[in-house]
Structure 1
Amino acid sequence: MATAEVPRCRHCGEALNLKLIDLGLSPVANDYVDATNYMRAEPFYPLEVYVCQACRLVQTRDLIAASDIFRDDYAYFSSHSTTWLDHARTYVDYVAKRFGLDAESRHLEIASNDGYLLQYSIWKGIKCLGVEPCRSVALAAREKGIETRIEFFGRETASRLLAEGWGADLVTANNVFAHVPDLNDFVSGVEIVLSRNGVATLEVQHLLTLMQRHQFDTIYHEHFSYMSLLAAQQIFARSGLRVFDVELLETHGGSIRFFVCKDGADHPESPNVREVLAREMAYGLHSDDAYIKWCESVRETKRAFVELLTRLKRQSKTIVGYGAPAKAVTLLNYCGVRTDFIDFTVDRAPSKQLRFLPGVRLPILAPEAIAEAKPDYVVILPWNIKDEIKEQMKEIRSWGGKFIVPVPTARIED
């Protein structure tokens, strides 16, 4: 019988023999389908996640180059979420005060998207620079007056920036660490560009929370890695960096923010580091059993969602979606949910409207379509900002409409 080649860890190079989950074949999550391409086939790739038994990094199998995913027409614009803008503003206020940033400081953001965060540093008079590989969002940042380099970040970019005088006092990397195929090159770049006593913060979904809350839909090809502190400490140490503090956040369903400095920097280690490590160890992230058991919990989450939708459709209820995030592509493709269950979805981003979700080909309309259709139920696909969406769509209650939240267990909410 033919067998696939055993993949190797993207950090330490060890063979990957422990599979966390197999979500079947799935398209690239952010490859939204234009109406003109509706009748054309799209590529599907295995969506498999492995655990390195040496360094404990959880990761997808390498199948697609990052340049084929994060292209010039990338459709995710961070500024379309008011919740995320509030998060960015709070972050800038916090780090500026904690680390004494002022007009003499330099703030570099990696994967700066449309300038959603750096705009707040600019308002404080801090010198700012964004590095963003996707032209569509980088140009939006430039229109806001934010200097943005259109390129991927790594050792080469960092060395060039340092030669230009861009030794950064603060490096921000929000929700990009998981998108990096060559982790060692990326982290080495952070070490190169960081000033002697500078701080880098890297915010990424926390593997522990992902597993505890059954958030399998946050797994997709754009996310190459799923990060724990257990694994991150080893990754940073290899490049001469040290985690001196961590914070657990509720963004994206549960994230971890690493505070990182050079080995010789003055920042003392916070007790938070030991506390988070203890949580991860208590759950069992250092052993194989926790990963093996998790797979069945994902299957049960799928069953509950499909069973709820099936029951409602048998009652002749109308169901639509709200949002067209990448997580919706994994959720709906894995569960086999198409227009036989959900008529359409809506999204505030004009770049997604009048297109289709990859794979399931769910139409994406403007939010006003919900008021016109007056559905019985609205499935909140970006469940991590469900409170924001419920407030935006509160008018559905006027015709008796309700919300469905699919993860961690499908449920109906008023």
Structure 2
Amino acid sequence: MSAPRGDAVREVTRCRSCRCARLVTILDLGDLPACDDFPPSGSDPAGDGRWPLGLRWCPQCTLVQLSHTSPGPETPLATTSRTAGAHAVHMAAALRDSPETKGGATLREFGSAHGGHWADELERVGFTATEAVADLVVDNHGLIHAEDLDAALAERVEALADDGVLAIEFHHALAQVTGHQVDTIRHGHPVYLSLTAWQHACARHGLVVVDAWPEPVYGGCLVVLARRGDEGTVRAPSVDAVLAQEHAAGLDREEGYRRWGAAVTGVRRTVLDHLAAARAAGRSVLGYGAGSKAVTFLGVTGVDASLLPVVADASPDKQGRRIAGTSIEVVAPQDLLAHDPDEVLLLTWDIAPEVTEQLRAAGLTRADLSVALPEVHLVSVGG
């Protein structure tokens, strides 16, 4: 294993939220490349850095988190999808119309490593941006990157006006577990939030969850609104509904999350069997979407260039590189068309409708399009 980027990676023995020292290991994926690592094409995968990747569960506040700190981040190379842009417009309207927020309120947004900011759209619908204390504090997938969740939450609470609202969106652990989303476990995402765990975190800072609702982006997210209050603070019925769903799935218990780990074996087997069968039948299968999910997915499943020779991506900064840990080259979408494959495996499965429309419009009409999660299945049949 090569030297880590940035600060040395270390084992995490206390909860990033409540500081409990009784963390329980629920999944160990071994040493994998960092999700943002795209080495130059032609370089030797044997020299790629690898770091521990596993999950631990906190029995005190139910937070799931990485077992180790992450290597320092690289410069983001991704492009913003049309789906993410449309979601920003949708969320601005939803927050404007929420009974918990105030028209003309001041706004402060904490940056998101995903690049999917909402501030511009929120300003268009009447919010006023400020760097001071604000009526609406927004965190769009920012906190999931915090090595110290409790400290990051404290920073956001400090920015919140006395009667203000903290709005956060995060990849919902319920969707991750039930959807077998093994590729969403990655370096750089230290915490995996459920509403149950988030409610515990808010309570330590004097906040009460007053509304929550699911959003389909990124494979299943949850938007949660919280404000200062106590046990008597009125909250929307949707809060109890989400908590009940999480309880039914076991997300307030250790065994519920062990289903996530068990899914890894099943996903690995089905993906390898599917690609091996295609190769045996003489069918060419290529990939699309060299996102952060792809690095974890290919590392976890063990898919290499013999089964998936290239992956196309729209980001020019990724083209001419390869997926870390493999010899799989990243090419431009037009190169994918030139290969004329029998099937394209969409590794960016969370925006499959958008990618399908783009590939068909570009002329990729003969190939079947498939995704691998929660199991391998076709999303569009070639003509």
TM-score (norm 1): 0.83
Cα deviation code 1:152-183 (max 9, x no counterpart): xxxxxxxxx5xxxx111212111122111111
Kept in 2: contact 1:112–1:118 (CA 8 A): no
Determine the C-alpha separation between the residues in 2 that align with 1:122 and 1:266. 32
Q: How does 1:160-199 map to 2 (within 5 A)?
A: 161=131, 166-199=132-165
Uncovered stretches (5+) of structure 2, i.e. residues with no partner: 1-9
Match status 1:210 vs 2:216? no
Partner residue in 2 for 1:48: 54
Kept in 2: contact 1:33–1:361 (CA 8 A): no
Match status 1:326 vs 2:292? yes
Runs of 4+ in 1 over 6 A off after TM superposition: 264-267
Cα deviation code 1:209-264 (max 9, x no counterpart): 11111111100011111111111111111122221111111111111111111237
Please give the secondary structure, in 2, of the residue aligned with 1:34.
Answer: coil
**Cα distance, 1:108 vs structure 2:** 1.6
Partner residue in 2 for 1:100: 102
Partner residue in 2 for 1:154: none
Determine the C-alpha separation between the residues in 2 that align with 1:16 and 1:37. 42
Structure with greater proportional helix content: 1
Determine the C-alpha separation between the residues in 1 that align with 2:11 and 2:313. 39
Q: Structure 1 198/278 Cα, relative in aligned 2: closer, same or farther at 3 Å? A: same
Query: Greater CA deviation, 248-257 or 33-42?
Result: 33-42
Q: Structure 1 83/43 Cα, relative in aligned 2: closer, same or farther at 3 Å? A: same
**Cα distance, 1:127 vs structure 2:** 2.8
Determine the C-alpha separation between the residues in 2 that align with 1:409 and 1:339. 21
Partner residue in 2 for 1:335: 301
Number of matched pairs: 368
Determine the C-alpha separation between the residues in 2 that align with 1:389 and 1:184. 37
Match status 1:263 vs 2:224? no
User: What one-letter code is carried by the residue in structure 1 that aligns with 2:30?
Assistant: G
Q: How does 1:8-47 map to 2 (within 5 A)?
A: 8-35=14-41, 41-47=47-53
Determine the C-alpha separation between the residues in 2 that align with 1:5 and 1:206. 24
User: What one-letter code is carried by the residue in structure 2 that aligns with 1:9?
Assistant: C
Match status 1:61 vs 2:67? yes
Partner residue in 2 for 1:118: 119
Query: Greater CA deviation, 293-302 or 110-119?
Result: 110-119
Q: Structure 1 40/111 Cα, relative in aligned 2: closer, same or farther at 3 Å? A: farther
User: What one-letter code is carried by the residue in structure 2 that aligns with 1:119?
Assistant: D
Partner residue in 2 for 1:75: 77
User: What one-letter code is carried by the residue in structure 1 that aligns with 2:262?
Assistant: E
Determine the C-alpha separation between the residues in 2 that align with 1:115 and 1:211. 24
Please give the secondary structure, in 1, of the residue aligned with 2:47.
Answer: coil
Determine the C-alpha separation between the residues in 2 that align with 1:101 and 1:193. 19
Query: Greater CA deviation, 360-369 or 225-234?
Result: 360-369
- Choose the corresponding residue for 1:355, options 300, 315, 321: 321
**Cα distance, 1:63 vs structure 2:** 2.8
Determine the C-alpha separation between the residues in 1 that align with 2:233 and 2:107. 18
Cα deviation code 1:281-322 (max 9, x no counterpart): 112222233233443232112111110000001112111111
Kept in 1: contact 2:182–2:260 (CA 8 A): no
Q: Structure 1 116/259 Cα, relative in aligned 2: closer, same or farther at 3 Å? A: closer
Match status 1:128 vs 2:129? yes
User: What one-letter code is carried by the residue in structure 2 that aligns with 1:341?
Assistant: L
**Cα distance, 1:207 vs structure 2:** 0.9
Q: Structure 1 333/16 Cα, relative in aligned 2: closer, same or farther at 3 Å? A: farther
Q: Structure 1 40/48 Cα, relative in aligned 2: closer, same or farther at 3 Å? A: closer
Determine the C-alpha separation between the residues in 1 that align with 2:285 and 2:362. 12
Partner residue in 2 for 1:307: 273
User: Percent of aligned pairs with the same residue?
Assistant: 29
What is the RMSD computed on CA atoms of the aligned residues? 2.4
Determine the C-alpha separation between the residues in 1 that align with 2:187 and 2:341. 32
Query: Greater CA deviation, 280-289 or 375-384?
Result: 280-289
User: What one-letter code is carried by the residue in structure 1 that aligns with 2:123?
Assistant: I
Partner residue in 2 for 1:281: 247
Q: Structure 1 6/221 Cα, relative in aligned 2: closer, same or farther at 3 Å? A: closer
The structure whose RCO (Cα within 8 Å, separation 6+) is larger is 2
Determine the C-alpha separation between the residues in 1 that align with 2:300 and 2:116. 33
TM-score (norm 2): 0.89
**Cα distance, 1:381 vs structure 2:** 0.4
Uncovered stretches (5+) of structure 1, i.e. residues with no partner: 130-160
Cα deviation code 1:98-154 (max 9, x no counterpart): 32332xx3222112465742222333453336xxxxxxxxxxxxxxxxxxxxxxxxx
Kept in 2: contact 1:204–1:255 (CA 8 A): yes
